[in-house]
Structure 1
Amino acid sequence: MATPSAGLLAAAFIGIVPGYISRSVAGSYDNEAIAIFLLMITFFTWIKALKTGSAFWGTVAALFYGWMVAAWGGYVFITNMVPLHVFVLILMGRYNNRIYVAYSSWYVLGTVASMQVPFVEFLPIRTSEGMAALGTFGLIQLVAFVEIVRRLVPGKQFQFLVRAFVVFVFVVSFAALVVLTFSGWIAPWTGRFYSLWDTGYAKVHMPIIASVSEHQPTAWPAYFFDLQMLIFIFPAGVFWCFRELRDEHVFVIIYAVFAAYFSGVMVRLMLVLTPVVCVCAAMAISKLLDTYMDPVLPTEDEDDSHAKSKKASKKAANKAANAPAFEFTGVLSGKSTNGIFNWDSRVAVIGVFLFLLTLFVHHCTYVTQSAYSSPSVVLASRNQDGSQNIIDDFREAYYWLRQNTEKDAVVMSWWDYGYQIAGMADRATLVDNNTWNNTHIATVGLAMSSNEDIAYPILRRHDVDYVLVIFGGLLGYSGDDINKFLWMVRIAQGEWPDQIQEPRYFTPRGEYAVDDRASEAMRNSLMYKMCYHRFPELYGGHPATDRVRQQRIPEHGTHEHLETIEEAFTSENWIVRIYAVKKEDPFGRSLKAAGAFERGQKLLAAASSPQPKQPQQQRQGGRK
């Protein structure tokens, strides 16, 4: 069923489909760009090894799997997909030597290859995510042993021996798994695993995961936006896999079912669904076009010989002679065209699909141009006259940091911008996109959501020189830190529930407001002050309106006064704002900062130490 034309169509689809292009362009180029290629080539070589029973192709699949482990944390998907395929084939009674050779070579060599990656090491055999592959490896050895015994032991004795042996192995294996798990040798399932099956788990137990927009459930329009017509043809391709149901088709079905579910749980897993959608849609379209472009039509002589072979009766012959010229038989015979294969039907069907394919190409081109071709540090918008407007605030701010700060300066920002600051401004950050320690990220959230008395000692303790925030209220940029602020509060609350409570940042009616209705905790937070500092001045006495939240910012308030930090840089469109942390000099100047520092130290240390804290002194030669 999988013809060369289907392969050509699948390659063309995945080459332009937005679901894959989204991770393969400048600005969004990430590990997934190479990882999806490695995922597909691993699956391809696995199917090749399964069909040929070749240890060579199993080794090739293992090598690509090892490369995938080094490239992307999503390798766990492969780690469980291949064993699940083998397990389903065994349940279907399709076990054979080809499966044994392919899986054994892939698992042994692939596991050894993955353990060479520094951050993986023994995880494949010491985490619950790798137990399915290990268990399937043990199961296939058991099945192979049983097949050998079947040939050597008589039937009655074989039945008793197999039952006793299977029960014994199952009990011993389960007991070993329980003991190793409770002893801590095998790590339990991680929060990421639970979040795939319970969409509300991460929000309650792991807010750092739920705070990422890519980890939110996928909206229905996103499927059409990223896959266009392929998402409608995808089920037809799965249907054709059920029609054939060879070993490789079983794999495609399993892949399609699990990828479809996971893509609905997390937006980012649309990337995993895209390859199988392209393959299944290509199979369905190829089958349809092959059928209508070159249908198998018997000749008139073949019809006659077929009729003679059946020795049709006189009644049947009369019925055939009186039959109408048009009959839904699905064949073209001699003088007339019949059924769905007449010329007008064929032209209509082929024409419709060519039109749909043309629309698909146009859609992919448009989405790639409008949504996925702007680097994340350069924003593009349209003016009222249709001309393009480039917003370059991020690069402007990072260039300022590189040119106007010391090389050893430390910048605190939310973790989203850590990589950009390190790569483009060449400055150290408190947290970045690879920070695994949740406490570090929660510390930044605590500083941002606290008042200056609490935030200042945190900044000084971590040697922070500058604080960077993203503010979109002037331009209408919705991805700013005020919109992310509640996640900072929730993550900080997970570590310090006595100091930070989320309800304090809402109005008495439970609304998230930044105008006159904003709560005291919201107005006094460091984040609020940094974002709205001097903002009303831009409107020259007119009401200052936050264009993202459509709320009026009060002209006078806590955002007017900053005691411990001072504005150092604001980009052209006010998207990036950078504040310098004030420091006390050896002569006791900057008394406001010193006083705030003392008050904050006392508040933080009240529960643990009755001794008053002395103000920290800035080293000689520090920047003002």
Structure 2
Amino acid sequence: SRDSAAMAEPVANAAAPAPAPGRLRNAFGGVLCAFTLILIGVLAFSIRLFSVIKYESVIHEFDPYFNFRVTQFLSKNGIYEFWNWFDDRTWYPLGRVIGGTVYPGLTLTAGSIWWFVNALNIPLSVETVCVFTAPIFSAIASWATYLLTKEAKGTGAGLMAAAILAMVPSYISRSVAGSYDNEAVAIFALVFTFYLYVKTLNTGSLFYATLNALSYFYMVCSWGGYTFIINLIPMHVLLCIVTGRYSSRLYIAYAPLVILGTLLAALVPVVGFNAVLTSEHFASFLVFIILHVVAFVYYIKGLLTPRLFKMAMTLVITVGLAVCFAVVAILVALVASSPTKGWSGRSLSLLDPTYASKYIPIIASVSEHQPPTWPSYFMDINVLAFLVPAGIISCFLPLSDASSFMVLYLVTAVYFSGVMVSICCTDIM
């Protein structure tokens, strides 16, 4: 019986199926991709440490040092004191109510990191955490860029995009160690919000739609550039509707963002009711109404016969146009009393580059609000200036919901980066 068992063992081993070559190849590719992403993160972090290595670990520039003071106060006194803090050393002699006039995302992020590492008995100072916040989030932003590009064009394109973002000079200038400004965390929030939007477009998952609204809320907390998100995404939704690419996935990707995102944005004290009262947000509400009209049309199309559907379409279009005209009339009435028509001075400077120099000299006096010169543009954007045309062409091969969003993102990023230096320095094409 022992001999028969020994003879049966090789037969059993021979009958066991061998691992499929494709499965091994996929596993090796996944490990290689993860290893490459780790190297890209290390590169993004280490390349931004030259100021610390050459000099020392310090906060530099005015705004970063103000943010450092705010973070110090938060870590020492707690969040409730932070919301009600009146700082008499800022905007002297008037003073400043900090909780209602700053975007708290950067401060709360660094304060949370400081609390977490000290809870682990790692004795880091608040200053050290603030100095290294931007390099850490630059690595995370590179990984978010990989996820966004992977959803649109695949793994190879995602790795290339992550590597370029890690090394592009324009982003390095805004995320170097010691540059503790809002862009330190806001660029990651911007890219990650776009990734979750594209992910929801591809999957139609309400889970990712909810995460998208939460990521948008984090972006609102972090930087005033959140208005770029709440205008770019409605532009893409309208583009999909006009080109006949409406789907339930598009509805799921957009409707929760407008409702939940706007409610969450209104909770940020510096934004408040501006989330529903300023012109920067009106496009999202108008597209929200148009989306529901289109959704209702597609719904009744599946219920009615062609003749009844044609009659119903006439009624829906009539009522829809009446509602749209009423909404537009209300919006016009709301903004007519404002000399800037409900737009902020910085937004008007983006739409009309000559506006600030003619009407708001204090905005035009800031050098980063000026249009960049061609040499500085190409020095900041570097190789991306030559890869953008190739990227736009590749997004059309083939054209999908995700790739059409990337095309729209590229075109608007090129325009805004050519209008204002500060946006050129945070361009993430």
TM-score interval, smaller chain: 0.5 to 0.7
Q: Distance between the aligned counterparts of 1:163 and 1:49, measured in 2?
A: 32
The residue identity in structure 2 corresponding to 1:104 is A
Deviations 1:395-426 (CA, angstroms, capped at 9, x unpaired)? xxxxxxxxxxxxxxxxxxxxxxxxxxxxxxxx
Q: The residue matched to 1:204 in structure 2 has which SS?
A: helix
Structure 2 CA distance for partners of 1:177 and 1:204, relative to 1, 3 Å: same
Contact (CA 8 Å) 2:174, 2:426: kept in 1 or not? no
The residue identity in structure 1 corresponding to 2:187 is I
Deviations 1:5-60 (CA, angstroms, capped at 9, x unpaired)? 22122111111211111111245331012101100000001100110001100111
How far did 1:272 drift? 4.5
Identify the residue that residue 212 of structure 2 maps to in structure 1: 61
Q: Which residue of 376, 379, 393 corresponds with 1:222?
A: 376
Identify the residue that residue 393 of structure 1 maps to in structure 2: none
Which structure shows the higher helix fraction?
2
**Does 2:176 correspond to 1:25?**
yes
How far did 1:128 drift? 1.2
Deviations 1:61-111 (CA, angstroms, capped at 9, x unpaired)? 110100000100000000111111111011111111111112112222111
Identify the residue that residue 350 of structure 2 maps to in structure 1: 196
Superposition pairs of residues 225-244 of structure 1, within 5 angstroms: 225-244=379-398
Superposition pairs of residues 97-176 of structure 1, within 5 angstroms: 97-176=248-327
Q: Which moves more between the two structures, 213-222 or 25-34?
A: 25-34
Identify the residue that residue 115 of structure 2 maps to in structure 1: none
Q: Which residue of 254, 257, 261 corresponds with 2:415?
A: 261
How far did 1:199 drift? 1.6
Instruction: State the TM-score, normalized to the length of structure 2.
Output: 0.61
Q: Distance between the aligned counterparts of 2:404 and 2:327, measured in 1?
A: 31
Superposition pairs of residues 270-349 of structure 1, within 5 angstroms: 270-273=424-427, 275-276=428-429
**Does 2:238 correspond to 1:87?**
yes
Which structure shows the higher strand fraction?
1
How far did 1:156 drift? 2.2
Contact (CA 8 Å) 2:153, 2:395: kept in 1 or not? no
Structure 2 CA distance for partners of 1:183 and 1:82, relative to 1, 3 Å: closer
Count of equivalent residues:
275
Deviations 1:566-622 (CA, angstroms, capped at 9, x unpaired)? xxxxxxxxxxxxxxxxxxxxxxxxxxxxxxxxxxxxxxxxxxxxxxxxxxxxxxxxx
The residue identity in structure 1 corresponding to 2:342 is P
Q: Which moves more between the two structures, 102-111 or 191-200?
A: 191-200
The residue identity in structure 2 corresponding to 1:195 is S
Q: Distance between the aligned counterparts of 1:164 and 1:21, measured in 2?
A: 55
Identify the residue that residue 250 of structure 1 maps to in structure 2: 404
Contact (CA 8 Å) 1:181, 1:188: kept in 2 or not? no
The structure with the larger Rg is 1
State percent identity of aligned pairs: 45
Superposition pairs of residues 566-585 of structure 1, within 5 angstroms: none
Q: Distance between the aligned counterparts of 2:388 and 2:231, measured in 1?
A: 23
The residue identity in structure 1 corresponding to 2:345 is G
Contact (CA 8 Å) 1:58, 1:102: kept in 2 or not? yes
Q: Distance between the aligned counterparts of 1:78 and 1:231, measured in 2?
A: 22
The residue identity in structure 1 corresponding to 2:273 is F
How far did 1:191 drift? 2.9
The residue identity in structure 2 corresponding to 1:106 is L
Contact (CA 8 Å) 1:66, 1:113: kept in 2 or not? yes
Structure 2 CA distance for partners of 1:180 and 1:259, relative to 1, 3 Å: closer
The residue identity in structure 1 corresponding to 2:301 is R
Contact (CA 8 Å) 2:388, 2:410: kept in 1 or not? no
Structure 1 stretches (4+) deviating beyond 4 angstroms?
183-187
Q: The residue matched to 1:23 in structure 2 has which SS?
A: helix
Q: The residue matched to 2:319 in structure 1 has which SS?
A: helix
Q: Distance between the aligned counterparts of 1:165 and 1:2, measured in 2?
A: 38
Instruction: State the TM-score, normalized to the length of structure 1.
Output: 0.42
Q: Distance between the aligned counterparts of 2:268 and 2:166, measured in 1?
A: 30
Contact (CA 8 Å) 2:192, 2:215: kept in 1 or not? yes
Contact (CA 8 Å) 2:220, 2:268: kept in 1 or not? yes
Structure 2 CA distance for partners of 1:247 and 1:8, relative to 1, 3 Å: same
Q: Distance between the aligned counterparts of 2:333 and 2:243, measured in 1?
A: 34
Identify the residue that residue 88 of structure 2 maps to in structure 1: none
Deviations 1:493-530 (CA, angstroms, capped at 9, x unpaired)? xxxxxxxxxxxxxxxxxxxxxxxxxxxxxxxxxxxxxx
Q: Distance between the aligned counterparts of 2:260 and 2:331, measured in 1?
A: 24
How far did 1:3 drift? 2.9
